[in-house]
C-alpha cells in the first residue's frame, strides 16, 4: 500500500473525538498565471472531504479554489476509542486519496 498524502490524528477529548487532518495537495485556483508564458494555470483543487467512522459519515465538506495549498481541517464528532476514522478527498480532476487511523 502506498503512503497516504493525508496525515490524520484522532483522539478522545472530553467525550468527543477530535480529528485533525492535513492533506498534501497543490490547490490551484485557476486564476494564477504562469510567469514564463503568461497562460493561466488550470484549476486543480480538492472539492470534497468526507470522514467516516463506524460505517457512518461523520463529517463532509466542500472546498473551492480559494483554499490554500495543503489544506488542514479539524472537527469533532461522537466516536469511540479504538474505532477507525477514514478521511477521503476528491479533487476537481477526479483524483481521490484516503487515509485511516484509529481513535486514541
Domains and CATH numbers, the chain: 6-96 (2.60.40.10)
30 CB-near residues (< 8 Å, 6+ apart)? 40, 41, 42, 43, 44, 65
Place of cell 483522539: 11
User: pTM (2 decimals)?
Assistant: 0.90
- Give, in order, the Cα–Cα distances in Å from 58 to each of 22, 31, 70, 86, 92: 17, 33, 22, 10, 23
How do residues 69-88 score in pLDDT, each as one tens digit? Answer: 999 999 999 999 999 999 99
93: alpha, beta or left, given left = phi > 0 and alpha = psi -120 to 50?
alpha
Q: What is the pLDDT of residues 16-38, one digit of tens each?
A: 999 999 999 999 999 999 999 99
The distance between the two most distant Cα atoms of the chain, rounded to a whole number of Å, is: 54
Amino acid at each position: 500500500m502506498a503512503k497516504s498524502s493525508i496525515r490524520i490524528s484522532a483522539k478522545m477529548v472530553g467525550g468527543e473525538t477530535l480529528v485533525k487532518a492535513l492533506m498534501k495537495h497543490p490547490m490551484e485556483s485557476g486564476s494564477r498565471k504562469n510567469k514564463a508564458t503568461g497562460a493561466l494555470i488550470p484549476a486543480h483543487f480538492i472539492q470534497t472531504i468526507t470522514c467516516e467512522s463506524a460505517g457512518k459519515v461523520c463529517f463532509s465538506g466542500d472546498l473551492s479554489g480559494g483554499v490554500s495549498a495543503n489544506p488542514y481541517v479539524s472537527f469533532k464528532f461522537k466516536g469511540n476509542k479504538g474505532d477507525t476514522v477514514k478521511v477521503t478527498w476528491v479533487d476537481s480532476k477526479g483524483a481521490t486519496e484516503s487515509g485511516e487511523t484509529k481513535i486514541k
